[in-house]
Amino acid sequence: MAADKSKKVESRPSVKRVVVNKGAWTAEEDKRLADYIHSHGPKKWKTVAVRAGLNRCGKSCRLRWLNYLRPNIKRGNISREEEDLILRLHKLLGNRWSLIAGRLPGRTDNEIKNYWNSHLSKKVNRQITTKYMEFPAPPVPVPVPVPVAPAPPQNEIRGHDDLAAKGDINGASGSDITFDVTDLFDFSSEPTFGFDWVNKFLQLDDDPSN
């Protein structure tokens, strides 16, 4: 990020004229924040912002530290294995970016969210489209008695994949498109790149006794 996107904004202008920096962080600000946190630790972000001499709100400092300055951060070059893991975890967890990031050492929720929105969501949509194209003429639906599985509580239905599980992949109710979307996310025949715990996790998830 070569250009300076920073701007100054007056917070609560009608109350007290406090000018805080917004936008891109400068190298100087990064250094101040990192130095302060190395000696005092990452807590009380409001205090961090003031004591480190940064014209920033605490939230901004926290975000900068977590997403950029924190040690052991990996940036860019998301590997095939990581991508696979993100897809699996997203299937399992939906848009719970912090939980997904927690399973990917060195990756941040923001990075994963961005990666999902710019790469993976399109990939998944393409898969869905391709899969659907394999069934251009769905047969006339015949009501078949099906063993009724207990429906999940309504308030547990969250995110794209929950909708997918309901056969309502785009959240567009009233669609008469019916197909087994869960097939699209069946990774059971694919390698797991050593993420054994994922298999266990997914097995648990698939186990009807749970």
Select 94 or 195, whichever has its Cβ closest to DNA. 94
Q: Note whether 165 and 181 are within 8 A (CB).
A: yes
Instruction: In angstroms, give the least distance from the CB of 114 to DNA.
Output: 4
Judged by CB under 7 A, the residue of 81, 83, 84, 109 near DNA is 109
Instruction: In angstroms, give the least distance from the CB of 204 to DNA.
Output: 20
Please state, in angstroms and rounded to a whole number, the distance separating the CA atoms of residues 25 and 59.
13
Judged by CB under 7 A, the residue of 18, 19, 24, 177 near DNA is 24
Token pair listed for 81: 């294995």
Q: Nearest Cα to 61, choosing from 78, 44, 85, 83?
A: 44
Residue 73 within binding range of DNA, rule CB under 7 A: no
Q: Which residues bind DNA (CB under 7 A)?
A: 1-5, 9, 21-25, 43-47, 56-60, 62-64, 67-68, 75-76, 95-99, 109-111, 113-115, 117-119, 159
